[in-house]
């Protein structure tokens, strides 16, 4: 049997907490984080409302921009 292991992407230190937030299932009951994910990628957020997908597909350039914001 083959075991696949997932290694999350490296995030800049100032935005590392986004991974925890993206995986926190409670976000779906607290829509206060919606504005944050919308700021990361407005089009993808509007299309999917999926924070993990956004975190995994956002460009490194955008992550660096967010890290300095």
Query: Per the structure, how many domains does the chain have?
Result: 1
Is 49 domain-assigned? yes
Is 5 domain-assigned? no
Q: What is the DSSP string of 5-44?
A: ---PPP--GGGTHHHHHHH-GGGGT-GGGHHHHHHH-HHH
pLDDT at 1 over 80: no
pLDDT at 38 over 80: yes
Is 3 domain-assigned? no
Q: The pTM is what?
A: 0.73
Is 41 domain-assigned? yes
Q: Note down the domain range covering 41.
A: 13-68
Condensed to tens digits (0 to 9), the pLDDT of residues 5-14 reads 666 778 889 9
Is 2 domain-assigned? no
Cβ–Cβ < 8 Å for 37, 54: yes
Longest dimension (CA), the chain: 45
């Amino acid at each position: 049997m083959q075991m696949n292991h997932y290694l999350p992407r490296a995030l800049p230190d100032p935005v590392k907490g986004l991974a925890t937030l993206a995986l926190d299932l409670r976000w779906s009951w607290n829509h206060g984080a919606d504005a944050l994910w919308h700021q990361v990628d407005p089009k993808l957020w509007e299309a999917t409302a999926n924070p993990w997908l956004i975190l995994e597909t956002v460009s490194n350039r955008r992550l660096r921009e967010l890290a300095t914001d």
